[in-house]
Amino acid sequence: MTGGRRVLIVGAGIGGLSAAIALGRRGWTAEVAEVKQVNSTVGVGLNHPANALRALRALGVYDEVAARGYRYQGIRRYAETGDLMAVFEPEDPPDVPFQISMTRADLHDILTGAAREAGARIRLGVSWRSFAEHGDGVRVTFTDGTTGTYDLMVAADGIRSPMRTHLFGAGHDPTGTGYACWRMAVPRPPGMTHSEYWNGPAAKATVIHLNQNLMYLLVVEGVTPGSPPVRDHMAERLHARLAGFGGVIGDIRDSLAPSAEAREDRSGDIHWAPLQEVVLPAPWYRGRVVLIGDAAHAVAPHLAQGAGMAMEDALVLADELGPARPVPDALEAFMARRLPRVRFVQDHAHAILLNEMEGDSARKAAFAAGLGARQAEITRVLAAPA
């Protein structure tokens, strides 16, 4: 569908594609500028809790996600020794499953197709070079020398957003949490039904189903401030990090192979990155340019809400813009709806991250004692409309 109002969306990730779908279906002409030359995504997998599944339904892609992902069964928590500590098997909400997990590549493919069906034009290998507001529009010059005028710019350009720096300065760059995460796709044992969380003294290892054939290994560890990132001998380093773990985590460790040659062969499959957050003060916009997703509020992964918050941003923005609502009024209303919910998620995710890595057993136990009430509150808040 095309219409009279035009939007330029910077970034063809989850937030950007969701914005193209939501706005396109409301009559906007959407153009997506993606700096990458290839329409692809970075990362291994992700979870969609119930609120994210509702967002996917609103975007019209829930059935495809459900068909290509894995429906959550529950969690088994283990000590590093292999002792089973707890089993969590939640009831599904009445409208959607409790959670579906999937590969990032599958989600990217689904959202790209839906954006194009909604009329979006996706331009690869190009981004904005400069822009200026003129009257009721934004005049943009692109890196390929072309120009265009738009009623709105939406920056969904990720955690290291150039647009955020341009509008708000380097003082809002991502901040470290003191932790980093290893990520790797591994084969899924056919008889395995639950995700597994293994707690070690220096690292937490998790496996989450992505589909019938693949699982997603995540290992969170503490990092020394200012330490260089891990780049070489990835498999060898991960093999060492998983020393001491049993069960499926030990099996994955052993699959990295004892020989240096074999470990090097697997290194390209392994991702390592510091866990960082972005807490941009309100408002997340200047004039007719608004930031959404990680560009405005990157969150620790411990509530699996990064993708969900980005998709909700896109849907709420499209809803507030309405058929012909003035852009400045819509952006103000967008902020009023999104800020409390996003801050709630960021605060709880950060607290859970710190507790999972807590070395003091008394403090860890005190937090765990209130975890049921905390989870109930999170579920209650996120069950409300975005």
**Secondary structure percentages of the chain, helix, strand, coil, to 5:** 40, 25, 35
Percent of the chain with pLDDT over 90: 74
pLDDT digits (tens, 9 = 90+) for 184-202: 999 999 889 999 999 888 8
What is the CATH architecture assignment of 177-275?
2-Layer Sandwich (3.30)
pLDDT digits (tens, 9 = 90+) for 318-375: 999 988 899 999 999 999 999 999 999 999 999 988 887 777 777 777 776 776 788 8
- Alpha helix (H) residue ranges in 80-123: 104-117
Q: Which two tokens stand for residue 386?
A: 């975005």
- pLDDT level of residue 2 (50, 70, 90 thresholds): very low
Q: Which two tokens stand for residue 97?
A: 């499953």
pLDDT digits (tens, 9 = 90+) for 207-255: 999 999 999 999 999 988 777 777 778 888 899 999 999 999 999 999 8
- pLDDT level of residue 384 (50, 70, 90 thresholds): very high
The pLDDT score that the predictor gives to residue 181 is 93
Beta-carbon contacts of 1 under 8 Å, excluding residues fewer than 6 positions away, are: 24, 25, 27, 118, 119
Backbone angles phi, psi at 316, to 5 degrees: -65, -40
Model confidence at 70: pLDDT above 90: yes
For residues 308-319, give the mean pLDDT: 98
DSSP string, 134-193: ETTEEEEEETTS-EEEESEEEE---TT-HHHHHHH-GGGS-EEEEEEEEEEEEEPPTT--
Beta-carbon contacts of 148 under 8 Å, excluding residues fewer than 6 positions away, are: 6, 8, 31, 139, 140, 142
Model confidence at 262: pLDDT above 70: no
The pLDDT score that the predictor gives to residue 108 is 98
- pLDDT level of residue 266 (50, 70, 90 thresholds): low
Backbone angles phi, psi at 32, to 5 degrees: -110, 125
| Residues 141 and 53: beta-carbon distance below 8 Å | no
Segments of the chain assigned to CATH 3.50.50.60? 6-72+101-173+278-383
| Residues 34 and 23: beta-carbon distance below 8 Å | no
- pLDDT level of residue 37 (50, 70, 90 thresholds): very high
Segments of the chain assigned to CATH 3.30.9.30? 177-275
Cα–Cα distances in angstroms (integers) from residue 244 to residues 190, 198, 203, 273, 357, in the given order: 24, 11, 11, 22, 17
The pLDDT score that the predictor gives to residue 4 is 82
Which CATH number describes the domain made up of 6-72+101-173+278-383?
A: 3.50.50.60
The pLDDT score that the predictor gives to residue 18 is 98
Backbone angles phi, psi at 254, to 5 degrees: -65, -30
pLDDT digits (tens, 9 = 90+) for 104-138: 999 999 999 999 999 999 999 999 999 999 888 99
Whole-number Å distance between alpha carbons of 381 and 386: 9
Using alpha carbons only, how large is the chain's radius of gyration in Å? 21
